[in-house]
Structure 1
Amino acid sequence: MRKRLALVTAEPSAADLAAIEAEWPLIAAELDVLDAEITLLYAEDHGGPTVLDWRRLRRAESRVTRAAAEVTARQSAHVCEPHTLREVRLTTECDYGCKVMACRDCGAEQVTHWSAYGCPAGKPVHRIA
């Protein structure tokens, strides 16, 4: 007897869609590699791959490398500024009431420890006047 499965109604968040959009050049390049590999497999049954088939694969692999480097450079270029962070929840890693903060721009989460709460992992803020 088959049980009924609940429908998934949760839609991707704006941060999820932004992450997909940011990685789309890499996804497209990987699809090109897959297409080139399929062409090579098909060519095995029809006289073997040609020089152009191998060249197409090498170029697709080069595009993956370049796209991965660009995506990584873009992701590492973003630095979450304190004014873009918002409190999401309390962390379970710390007993001092430290918080998990999420960036409004990229959606990345990070644990922020506060010395004001008595947390030994927190760093005191020194302001230069």
Structure 2
Amino acid sequence: MTTDHDATMGPTAADLAAIEQEWPLIAADLDLLDAEIAMLYAADDGGPTVLDWRRLRRAEARVTRAAAEVTARRAHVCDLVEVRLTTDCRYGCKVLACRKCGVEQVSHRAVYGCPAGRAA
């Protein structure tokens, strides 16, 4: 995630896109955490059942699949094209979008006089 913006503005579009792209892995990790917590509670009640072990194995497999999918998506190289001017920068910086995945990002450029572009 980027940290070159004013923290009071909240996450950038690129930050939100990165979270959206990793959401299947985040959800799978949360399911695994739930299964692990259930195993801890089961230990207090005489030990985990066959279903508890099955739930844990399935959650671990989901994390592995989700991690592989997220990694495969990251491996693709974006083919960026200009789609419009950004509305959040008064220097005429551009919004670029990937032709393959549709992810958008703002390109702040120092040549336009943009302070964010000079800082990069």
TM over 0.5: yes
Cα separation, 2, equivalents of 1:80 and 1:66: 23
Identify, as 1 or 2, the structure richer in helix: 2
Aligned residues: 83
RMSD: 2.3
Aligned residues with identical type, % of pairs? 70
Q: Which residue of 2 aligns with 1:80?
A: 78
Cα separation, 2, equivalents of 1:81 and 1:24: 23
Please, which runs of 5 or more residues in structure 2 have no aligned partner? 1-6, 83-95, 106-120
SS in 2 for 1:9: helix
- After TM superposition, the score normalised by the length of structure 2 is 0.61
Please, which runs of 5 or more residues in structure 1 have no aligned partner? 1-7, 85-102, 108-129
Cα separation, 1, equivalents of 2:18 and 2:80: 21
Deviation track 1:16-66 (CA, whole Å, cap 9, x = no partner) reads 000000100000000000000000000111111001101100000000000
Q: Which residue of 2 aligns with 1:116?
A: none
Q: Which residue of 1 aligns with 2:30?
A: 31
Report the alpha carbon displacement of residue 69 of structure 1 after superposing the two structures with TM: 0.5
Matched, 1:46 2:38: no
Q: Which residue of 2 aligns with 1:11?
A: 10
CA 23–82 in structure 1, closer or farther in 2 if over 3 Å, else same: closer
- AA in 1 matched with 2:23: W
SS in 2 for 1:43: helix
CA 68–29 in structure 1, closer or farther in 2 if over 3 Å, else same: same
Q: Which of 1 and 2 has higher RCO (CA within 8 Å, sep 6+)?
A: 2
Q: How does 1:60-75 map to 2 (within 5 A)?
A: 60-75=59-74
Q: Which residue of 2 aligns with 1:90?
A: none
- After TM superposition, the score normalised by the length of structure 1 is 0.57
Q: Report the structure number with the largest CA radius of gyration.
A: 1
Cα separation, 2, equivalents of 1:82 and 1:69: 24
